[in-house]
């Protein structure tokens, strides 16, 4: 993926690096052996896949971007994308768990925590001993995340949190949550701060576990803060920097959601290719019909284009450069391609795509989240437009 040109500059090539191949193979073997047999059990019961998370921790997949000195795997965004794609090809719910835990909670603390905070929280998050959540969205502020109402009032050695957060991944199963709240209402977005909150703190309330269309074994919950006392030392960075921190965290997070979308799209395509070679109608394999061939050709091309866009965002992110536009483009395009891929995959399977014996039925339900989470498709376009117009 990275080579030196004749001037010695690092440039991307279009092969996976050794590390990417290595983690992809580990993720693939794990997903086949440990996740595939239990997918529908977890999907139907909507139970959180805790046992799988323990094993992900042993593999180093709960601290992918964390330096080895803090107990992580020390990988970059390219390896991260390869892992999420491979796992999501089998079960997107597990892909979402890895993405939310790594990119949102853990990475927020890694990027903006001080040494004491990192040493206290990152090793347990990296090993999977603790599961991380990230609480930005509220009932009345989703896309307009800066319009939040949750408050954090400083009293002595504590901030007192009050308010509600919606759709929080790991809201009911996590142990550590990064929470954004207003410390100064008069300053709007510049009055938002971020805090590390331990979920067993009195006043941290799991208000409602959501019953979802897809991604059902990923935990999603509404949480509330009722005079929740958070020690002052749990403030991340400076007061008033929370919103800017959240946007920076999302720049990386969107690469993981694009990878998640790519896993779903590739999984749906692989299943469709297999089916097209097995299913006969009118005395021919359906893969012999040009209508089916064109669908497969379109999807293969779109998925490859989406993957290259995401690898490019990951490559730029690894260099520490500004990736707001690149991450948004990768997430927007991969998400829309994935929706298209699952729709066509069900169509290619006909009635069999509508029943739970084939994986495309679940992909079709799971996929919609990728056009919504970490910023909807509409918001990605807004972000891209703002970047190109310099707004």
Whole-number Å distance between alpha carbons of 219 and 302: 30
Q: Does 316 bind ligand FAD (CB under 6 A)?
A: no
164 or 323, CB closer to ligand FAD? Answer: 164
- Under rule CB under 6 A, which residues in 31-70 are in contact with ligand FAD? none
- Residue closest to 324 by CA, chosen among 265, 382, 263: 382
Q: What are phi and psi of 37, to 5 degrees?
A: -65, -20
Whole-number Å distance between alpha carbons of 169 and 172: 8
Structure-token match 């992918």, residue found: 64
C-alpha 38: how far from its chain's center? 21
DSSP string, 174-211: -SEEEEEEES-GGGGGGGEEEEEEETTSTTEEEEEE--
30 or 134, CB closer to ligand FAD? Answer: 134
Q: Does 136 bind ligand FAD (CB under 6 A)?
A: yes
- In whole angstroms, how close is the CB of 98 to ligand FAD at the nearest point? 13
- Do the bridges between strand 158-169 and strand 10-12 make them parallel or antiparallel, or are there none, so unpaired? unpaired
Check: CB of residue 160 under 8 Å from CB of residue 153: yes
The DSSP call for residue 141 is B
105 or 299, CB closer to ligand FAD? Answer: 105
Q: Does 134 bind ligand FAD (CB under 6 A)?
A: yes
- In whole angstroms, how close is the CB of 62 to ligand FAD at the nearest point? 16
Name the residues annotated as catalytic: 374
- Residue closest to 313 by CA, chosen among 326, 329, 332, 328: 326
- In whole angstroms, how close is the CB of 381 to ligand FAD at the nearest point? 8
Check: CB of residue 317 under 8 Å from CB of residue 309: no
- Collapsing DSSP to helix, strand or coil, 109 comes out as helix
- In whole angstroms, how close is the CB of 4 to ligand FAD at the nearest point? 39
Write the binding mask 185 to 214 for ligand FAD: x where contact by CB under 6 A, - elsewhere.
Answer: ------------------------------
Whole-number Å distance between alpha carbons of 91 and 284: 32
Write the binding mask 74 to 113 for ligand FAD: x where contact by CB under 6 A, - elsewhere.
Answer: --------------------------x-------------
Q: Does 375 bind ligand FAD (CB under 6 A)?
A: yes
- In whole angstroms, how close is the CB of 32 to ligand FAD at the nearest point? 25
Q: Which residue is nearest to ligand FAD (CB)?
A: 142
Q: Does 220 bind ligand FAD (CB under 6 A)?
A: yes
The residue within the footprint of ligand FAD, chosen from 71, 113, 252, 373 (CB under 6 A), is: 373
- Residue closest to 120 by CA, chosen among 135, 106, 134: 106
30 or 48, CB closer to ligand FAD? Answer: 48
The residue within the footprint of ligand FAD, chosen from 277, 378, 385, 386 (CB under 6 A), is: 378
C-alpha 265: how far from its chain's center? 15
- Under rule CB under 6 A, which residues in 158-187 are in contact with ligand FAD? 167-169
Cα–Cα distances (Å) from 104 to 86, 143, 157, 233, in that order, read 20, 17, 26, 20
The residue within the footprint of ligand FAD, chosen from 45, 114, 143, 227 (CB under 6 A), is: 143
- In whole angstroms, how close is the CB of 100 to ligand FAD at the nearest point? 5
Binding site for ligand FAD (CB under 6 A): 100, 134-137, 142-143, 167-169, 215, 220, 369, 372-376, 378-379, 382
């Amino acid at each position: 993926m990275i080579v030196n040109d004749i001037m010695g500059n690092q440039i991307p090539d279009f092969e996976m690096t050794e590390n990417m191949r290595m983690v992809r193979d580990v993720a693939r073997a794990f997903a086949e052996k440990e996740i595939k047999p239990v997918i529908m059990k977890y999907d139907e019961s909507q139970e959180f896949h805790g046992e799988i998370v323990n094993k992900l921790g042993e593999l180093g997949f709960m601290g992918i971007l964390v330096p080895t000195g803090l107990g992580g795997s020390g990988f970059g965004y390219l390896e991260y994308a390869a892992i999420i794609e491979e796992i999501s090809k089998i079960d997107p719910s597990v892909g979402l768990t890895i993405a939310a835990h790594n990119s949102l909670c853990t990475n927020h603390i890694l990027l903006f925590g001080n040494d004491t905070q990192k040493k206290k929280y990152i090793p347990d998050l990296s090993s999977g001993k603790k599961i991380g959540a990230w609480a930005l969205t509220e009932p009345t502020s989703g896309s307009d995340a800066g319009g939040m109402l949750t408050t954090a009032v400083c009293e002595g050695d504590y901030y007192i949190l009050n308010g509600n957060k919606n759709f929080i991944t790991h809201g009911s199963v996590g142990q550590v949550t990064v929470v954004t709240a207003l410390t100064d209402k008069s300053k709007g977005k510049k009055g938002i701060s971020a805090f590390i909150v331990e979920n067993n703190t009195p006043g941290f309330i799991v208000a409602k576990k959501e019953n979802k269309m897809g991604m059902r074994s990923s935990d999603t919950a509404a949480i509330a803060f009722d005079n929740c006392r958070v020690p002052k030392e749990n403030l991340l960075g400076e007061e008033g920097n929370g919103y800017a921190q959240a946007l920076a965290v999302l720049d990386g997070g969107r690469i993981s959601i694009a990878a998640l979308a790519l896993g779903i799209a590739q999984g749906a395509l692989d299943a469709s290719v297999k089916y097209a070679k097995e299913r006969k109608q009118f005395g021919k394999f359906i893969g012999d019909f040009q209508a089916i061939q064109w669908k497969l050709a379109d999807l293969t091309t779109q998925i490859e284009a989406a993957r290259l866009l995401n690898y490019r965002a990951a490559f730029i992110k690894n260099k520490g450069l500004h990736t707001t536009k690149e991450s948004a483009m990768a997430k927007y395009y991969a998400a829309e391609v994935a929706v298209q891929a699952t729709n066509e995959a069900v169509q290619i399977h006909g009635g069999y795509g509508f029943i739970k014996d084939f994986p495309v039925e679940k992909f079709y339900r799971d996929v919609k989240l990728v056009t919504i989470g970490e910023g909807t498709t509409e918001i990605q376009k807004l972000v891209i437009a703002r970047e190109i117009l310099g707004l």
